[in-house]
Structure 1
Amino acid sequence: MSSLYQNIPTSAEQDARLTLLTEWLGSLDLVEVGSRRPASSDASFRRYFRLDVAPALRAKLGDTLIAMDAPPERENVPAFIHVQGLLQEAGVTVPAIVARDVERGFLLLSDLGTTTYLQRLDPDNAAFMYSDAVDALIKFQLHSQPGVLPEFDRAFVLREMNLFPEWFLGRHLGVTMNEAQQAQLDKVFETITNNVLAQQQVFMHRDFHSRNLMFLDQGNPGVLDFQDAVYGPVTYDLASLLRDAYIQWDEEIVLDWVVRYWQSAKQVGLPVNPDIDAFYRDFEFMALQRHLKILGIFCRLNYRDGKPIYMGDLPTVMDYVRKTANRYTELKPLLRLLDAFDAFGDGAAPQVGYTF
């Protein structure tokens, strides 16, 4: 088997795990095992199933629960449990852990419903929904302390961005950069990295966006997919939320939301840059780092993992990248590289509302 696919579970492995999961669920006497149906899928090797709760327990546990199958050789279940506790302590709505078998990678979780932010958001409700999301983010950030989560350090930042030349440029576009082009990209990466690492550090969800936020009537939003949390730049999760790969808003609206977050964060004592222009620049550089990573990840999911669904979101992410690169003099070499490689476009400069 090609090394590209060596970490992907086979159908036989998945079937064997499903048998083990079914046996474990049956031993709990909490759910009706025969009611199992797929609940959702994501970009990882985790699988989720929704099950009906035993009738006698529904008043206590709700009508349904979610079973998570996370192969321990591929997924970090202890990290999921650890971060779930941190978020819960901070007052953020997350799935409760009803039962666990950490050794085999099984969790039984409370069900936060079926409506994601992405499904619910529209121009009429976006302001209050993002306000709720920002409130939850600030709660999490206020509980930050060093030494609790892995650090988002220089090696981490560069490892993420290097997915862009490997999988987007190399695998997707078939580009082999010459020495001069590689040097240009390295310089841009260094500029981004220096900005990111100079920012103040807080707890960081790392995937705080519309597909991982559940719309709830009470305790909105419910937060999912938090197991990869780290200690990193204060703008990261805000950039994930407002420069979302799956939904795009007008720049003047995003700028207003950024300012509102900045004002709230300052009021409660979070370590944001006291100058709004500098903070917005930090936000943009952070978003660019994330978007370069995403371009690589979406291509890797397609070519390595056989998950092409994310390829349709590449144009949105590239639009973010081009607009940001066009706004800052030190990032213009990235735009020239994209033009040279004809990455989603004819090389024409994108329309941008703000230039710094």
Structure 2
Amino acid sequence: MNRYKSLQQFLNPHFKEDEYQLAAITGDASFRRYFRVNTSDQSYIVMDSDPDKLDNTPYIELNKVFSQHGFKLPKILQADEKQGFFLLSDLGNTHLADLLGDEDRTLHYKHLIKLSAQWAQIPPAQYMKVFDGEFLQFELSIFRDWLVDNFIGEQLSADEQQMWQQACELLVNNALEQPIVTVHRDFHSRNIMRTGQQWAIIDYQDAVQGPVCYDLVSLLRDCYFKLPEQELDYLLHYAYDEFSEQQLLQDTSFAMFKRWFDLTGVQRHLKAAGIFCRLKLRDGKSGYLNNVLPTLTYISNVSKEYPELTALGQWIEQTIIPQTKQRLTKESK
């Protein structure tokens, strides 16, 4: 309540005598909260991002970087950095997630593949961390710590420990051998918006320098939506041609590109499954638990296509998924 009152005090000088209404809107998986501000003739978004919990500098500075390169982002109209309050332009209510039943879905994805290729070419900037081996290992540890250890309470045997270490090494090396580009990190259907005739990007503050396939995995292997395999295959070939034309790939066969894509997806989905459990256990956000089993199934299915990941896939399918189902059943009661 104290922050809400402070938020109102932040807004009052900007609207002066103009009455406004403040309504909470769906937040993201972070500690940020969002509200829509409606006046008699205009609407805005206000973001509450407590600086005691989050570093807001990358949000501010990378907004400048991506906007200068022609991308549509929320405009920061006013900011109180000390308190962590930001008045933003309102991009509307339509996300890519709202258009996935559209007859033009494939065309939407093709446009966004082109957009991701343009994003990838943005030069490195301050506050973009390097997605290095240590960073990748940390992300993989989220799965072990939050899903395996804390959510289902599974203890790994010596053989399983060795399997996990070998799988992690393979996935890290797969990421590191790819061309390094500018990566959004969460380029998926809930962070891409349609405003007017433009695509707009939100939640960009965690951008890094990382593997060329990462954002493509976020887009086409979305944790929140499963593309039919035939459509996915078509779009993956389209992306290969687009990335090659944009010179993001050098002397890379489609087979190698697909391997990069698939294994990057396994790494990302292991992290995501762990984060969904962390959101429940640490942050009290249970709404993401519905995404855990589809994410684990993706890992299992893709692992079957690569002999080096057979053991990981079997462990996920035979041990992790059944125990996760049991825990989810308990959670639903």
Asked if TM exceeds 0.5, the reply is yes
Ranges in structure 2 where 5+ consecutive residues have no aligned partner:
325-333
- Alpha-carbon deviations, 1:290-325, whole Å to 9, x = none? 000011000010111111111111122112101111
Q: Secondary structure at the match of 1:162?
A: helix
CA 1:268/1:333 → structure 2, altered by over 3 Å: closer, same or farther?
Answer: same
Note the alpha carbon deviations across 1:46-95, whole angstroms, 9 max, x for none.
00111124x5xx5xxxx211000000011121111122122212222111
Q: How does 1:1-356 map to 2 (within 5 A)?
A: 15-29=1-15, 32=18, 34-53=20-39, 55=40, 63-122=42-101, 124-145=103-124, 149-219=128-198, 221-271=199-249, 274-344=252-322
d(CA) in 1 for partners of 2:19, 2:251: 52
- Is contact 2:171–2:264 with CA below 8 Å preserved after alignment? yes
List gaps (5 residues or longer) in structure 1: 1-14, 347-356
* Structure-2 change in CA distance of 1:33 and 1:19 (3 Å): farther
Displacement of 1:118 after TM fit?
Answer: 0.9
Stretch of structure 1 that moved more, 334-343 or 172-181? 334-343
Say what the alpha-carbon RMSD is for the aligned residues.
1.9
Give yes or no for contact 1:92–1:139 (8 Å, CA) kept in 2: no
Distance 1:180 1:259 in 2: 38
* Distance in 2 separating the partners of 1:285 and 1:29: 50
C-alpha displacement of 1:232: 0.5
TM-score, normalised with respect to structure 1: 0.86
**How far off is 1:114 after superposition?**
0.8
Give the C-alpha shift of residue 166 in structure 1: 1.3
- Which residue does the alignment assign to 1:8? none
What is the alpha-carbon distance in structure 1 between the residues aligned to residue 323 and residue 103 of structure 2?
32
Q: What's the counterpart of residue 5 of structure 1? A: none
Q: Which runs of 4+ in 1 moved over 6 A?
A: none
SS at match of 1:341: helix
SS at match of 2:289: helix
Q: Give how far 1:216 is off.
A: 2.5
SS in 2 for 1:68: strand
More moved, 267-276 vs 111-120:
267-276
In the TM superposition, residue 135 of structure 1 has moved relative to its aligned partner by 2.4
Give how far 1:336 is off: 2.4
Residue 308 of structure 2 aligns to which amino acid in structure 1? Answer: E
Q: How many aligned positions are there?
A: 324
Amino acid in structure 1 at the alignment position of 2:47: M
Equivalent AA in structure 1 for residue 112 of structure 2:
A
Provide, for residues 247-284 of structure 1, a one-character-per-residue CA deviation record: whole Å limited to 9, x for no partner. Answer: 00122211211111121122122246621110111011
Bigger Cα displacement from structure 2, 198-207 vs 25-34? 25-34
CA–CA separation in structure 2 for the residues paired with 1:31 and 1:77: 30
Asked whether the 8 Å contact 2:296–2:316 carries over to 1, the reply is no
Contact 1:90 1:139 in 2 (8 A): no
Q: Please say if residues 25 and 33 of structure 1, whose CA atoms lie closer than 8 Å, have aligned partners that are also in contact.
A: no
Secondary structure of residue in 1 paired with 2:304: helix
> Does the CA contact (< 8 Å) of 1:202 and 1:231 recur in 2?
yes
Instruction: Give the aligned partner of residue 4 of structure 1.
Output: none
